[in-house]
Amino acid sequence: MARWTEAQMPDLGGHTLLVTGANSGLGLNTTRALAAHGAHVLMACRNAEKAEAVRATLLQAQPDARLTIKPLDLGSLASVRALAANLKAEGVKLTGLINNAGVMAVPHGHTQDGFETQMGTNHLGHFALTGLLLDRLLPGARIVNVASMAHRWTPGINFDDLHWKRRRYRRWQAYGDSKLANLLFTFELHRWLVRNRRDALAVAAHPGYADTHLQFVAAEVKQSKLERWGMTVANALLAQPAEMGALPSLYAATAAGVVGGDYIGPGGFQQMRGYPTKVGCRKDAQSEPLAQRLWAISEAATGVRFDA
């Protein structure tokens, strides 16, 4: 695959895409690029003040950008449902849903609904949002779930203790669990769309190792200067710019040749950096029995069922 950049994105005039976590890091760069190519971007963000500041900055650089802020806290199913209801009331139709927002390796905690923070935010919140927005998707729409190399960092999801109530909490393993869940969900969603003859694509993407604020959230929560220093050094030595990290998501959402069930990531060494290409994942990420088990658990936990 030739080096694909933002310059190769198509004209997105008339398109409306929703990006979760659009006010920083990968989400910000995804939003900027989509808007620069004519898309109307719904910036689904938890912090309205930060989102407004980012929107203002983007408009300074591109005054004609179409950017609309939508409140969304993925750690609250009530917030997820409120956003879905708002879009339905406004008659919004989407050509793309980019499930980008997430938290990484934070201390043990729980969402408003009692889910372990990382599984609840990174997977269950997006699972519910996707199910509730199915009727908002136009024919040919793409659903992009942002996963991570970290899906390889866990021995596997413990479905009997999904929220770490009976085990010693391991924050990096829990993060890996949530990213493995992103892939299991993507591939099962692809199969669901095919079975139900829905004209939409489910695709996964990952940024490699990108220099974003995500790496510092846990250090801020823990107030750990040492961890912040370690992440600063690692980012400086190993990470690629956030603009590059956003390319796989942009490719998955807009490029020609993408098919349902694709996984897009950087094509460089160990998928850590480079231009987007189709990449592989661990074998059990594509396990249909595991995906179906996660799907059933997710439906039960969120109360959201995908209507054919």
pLDDT digits (tens, 9 = 90+) for 275-306: 999 999 999 999 999 999 999 999 999 999 99
pLDDT digits (tens, 9 = 90+) for 54-73: 999 999 999 999 999 999 99
Q: Is the pLDDT of residue 151 over 60?
A: yes
The catalytic residues are 175
Q: According to CATH, what is the number of the domain 11-302?
A: 3.40.50.720
Confidence (pLDDT) at 224: 66
Confidence (pLDDT) at 308: 75
Please list, in sequence order, all residues whose beta carbon lies within 8 angstroms of the beta carbon of residue 14, skipping any fewer than 6 positions away.
38
- For residues 26 and 53, the answer to whether their CB atoms sit within 8 Å is no
Confidence (pLDDT) at 7: 97
Could you tell me the strand order of the sheet in which 276-278 lies?
A: 66-71, 40-45, 16-20, 94-99, 137-146, 200-205, 263-266, 276-278
- Confidence class of residue 237 from pLDDT cuts 50, 70 and 90? very low
Confidence (pLDDT) at 209: 83
Q: Rounded to an integer, what distance in angstroms lies between the CA atom of residue 202 and that of residue 142?
A: 6
Confidence (pLDDT) at 36: 98
DSSP state of 275: S
Mean pLDDT of 43-64: 97
Q: What ranges do the domains of the chain cover?
A: 11-302
Confidence (pLDDT) at 216: 43
Q: Using alpha carbons only, how large is the chain's radius of gyration in Å?
A: 18
pLDDT digits (tens, 9 = 90+) for 208-235: 986 665 544 544 555 666 655 555 644 5
Q: Is the pLDDT of residue 34 over 50?
A: yes
